[in-house]
Amino acid sequence: MFEYWTLIVSIIVLILASGFFSSSETGLTAASDAKMRQLANNGSRNALLVEKLKNDKDSLISAILIGNNAVNVLASALATSAAIAFFEDSGVFIATLVMTILITIFAEVLPKTYAIKNANQFALLVARPIRLIVLILTPLSIAMRWLSIIFLGKNSETSEDREEELRGMIDLQMGESTSELKETKAMLSSVLDLSELTVDEIMTHRGYVAMVNVEDKPENIVSFVLNSPHTRLPIYSEKPENIIGVLHVKDLLRALQNSTNKKIEEFDVAKIASPTYFIPETTLLADQLQAFRKRREHFAIVVDEYGDFRGIVTLEDIIEEIVGDIDDEHDEELAGCTVQADGSYVVDGNVTIRDLNRILDINLPDNDASTIAGLLLYETRTIPLPGREFNIHGMRFRVIHRENNQITSLRIWTKLKNAGQKKSFPKLNE
């Protein structure tokens, strides 16, 4: 009789051990990485152990699977042995039925449900014993890892796959249609885009950059700078491509205040200009953001592979890529997109496609062009005259103004009756 009770107690202990392994796997994999990092920074050793275990998931999962399967098999074997002793031939069926119910309820469902509801706390609780089990079972874990590599090959997941997974998580969590959630989703997605976008996609093109000619009269330069909405302005000599420095309004005012020469006509603006910070147009926004922070700069001149002046990019431009437009009391209200009575929009040609997608909640491609005028030129392979209309990507475009070879203004209808085709042949405006 004593042997039977010992057998029953052993089976119960093994089922509890199976529940421990199952719940530990769930708790450790579901624990918040951010929460563990915060606790580890505050000195929690258990949080550090959780991080180490999660960083080596192959060893963690292998050890838990070995332990879990070992106790399940042993418990089933003992139960079958006891059932055969009591019920003879029907003992195998009875043992299988009873153990399936017990293991499913008490070793899988209940432990994992508890662990998933209290993942962080449970992970901290089991970190030490699981770490010890992982160390003990390391040789078996290594053997299992080699076997998995032989039969399944190495893990082919790349950083791009993880980024796409993160984007999918953002879409899943921000799937609601409220305006606040849309803004949050756009902000989070924009952070990921910083590692893919280059400065030439968000820069202010040289044709729209307010610049100071060092050869102008000092009084005209001072008047121009003070009337400009910008804090920093490039200074050029002889021709706009020859940039010799950047003028900051504060430096100008400070120099005027401290100047001993009361004649503004003899004031030399070039002497107070800051050195020019040149960057290539292929620089990624994430890298440029870090460069701005490291150099304590807010303003850079963008050049192409030949060193020619392409435009300017500022720290504010990069931040606006994340949070949207940031306007202050000195910004000019040039939104570049005006809604019309019929629901169409009049858009400046230099408005970027990314900004237009945000404003109109559309999805125009920005792989081959950065501005809306550039997209029209790319799609049509022409420089259309005013009045020409095109159906592109399910939207109707009409050229309103053109200066030389530059399209300066467009009218866009975002909804067409027959928007099934992505692109159609151009037609003259009737």
pLDDT of amino acid 56:
87
Residue 173 has pLDDT above 90, yes or no: no
What is the mean pLDDT of the segment spanning 44-53?
A: 92
Range among 20-34, 327-341, 404-418 with highest mean pLDDT value: 20-34
CATH number at 308 reads 3.10.580.10
Choose among 217, 278, 281: nearest CA to 242: 278
Comparing 330 with 102, the larger pLDDT belongs to: 102
- Chain-wide mean pLDDT for the chain? 83
Tell me, what's the pLDDT at 108?
92
418 shares its domain with 277 = no
CA dist., res. 210 & res. 227, Å (int): 11
Reported confidence tier of residue 418, pLDDT bands at 50, 70, 90:
very low
Percent of the chain residues topping a pLDDT of 70: 84
Is a pLDDT exceeding 50 seen at residue 426?
no
Q: Which residue has the higher pLDDT, 121 or 332?
A: 121
pLDDT of residue 429: 36
331 falls within a domain? no
Summarised one tens digit per residue, pLDDT across range 243-286 is 999 999 988 888 887 765 556 666 788 888 899 999 999 999 99
User: Quick check: 204 and 311 in contact, CB under 8 A?
Assistant: yes
Which of 96, 119, 152 terminates a domain? The answer is: 152
Query: For the chain, how many structural domains are there in total?
Result: 4
pLDDT at 29 over 80: yes
Tell me what pLDDT residue 415 has.
74
Give residue 411's domain range. 337-428
In a domain, 420, yes or no: yes
Average pLDDT over residues 319-328: 74
Helix, strand, coil percentages (3-state) for the chain, rounded to 5, are 55, 15, 30
353-383 confidence digits (pLDDT tens): 887 887 787 888 887 888 899 999 999 888 9
Q: What is the pLDDT of residues 92-147, one digit of tens each?
A: 899 899 999 999 999 999 999 999 999 999 999 999 999 999 999 888 888 877 88
pLDDT > 90? residue 290: yes
Exposure of 279 by Cβ count < 10 A (0-12 exposed, 13-18 middle, 19+ buried)?
buried
Q: Are residues 82 and 142 located together in one domain of the fold?
A: yes
**Around 101, how many Cα atoms within 13 Å sit in the side-chain half-sphere?**
5
Q: Is there a domain that residue 140 lies in?
A: yes
Same domain, residue pair 257 and 364: no
Q: Specify whether 114 is located in the same domain as 179.
A: no
Do 390 and 249 share a structural domain? no
Return the biggest CA–CA distance within the chain: 116
Mean of pLDDT values over 63-67 = 91
pLDDT of residue 163 exceeding 80, the answer is: no
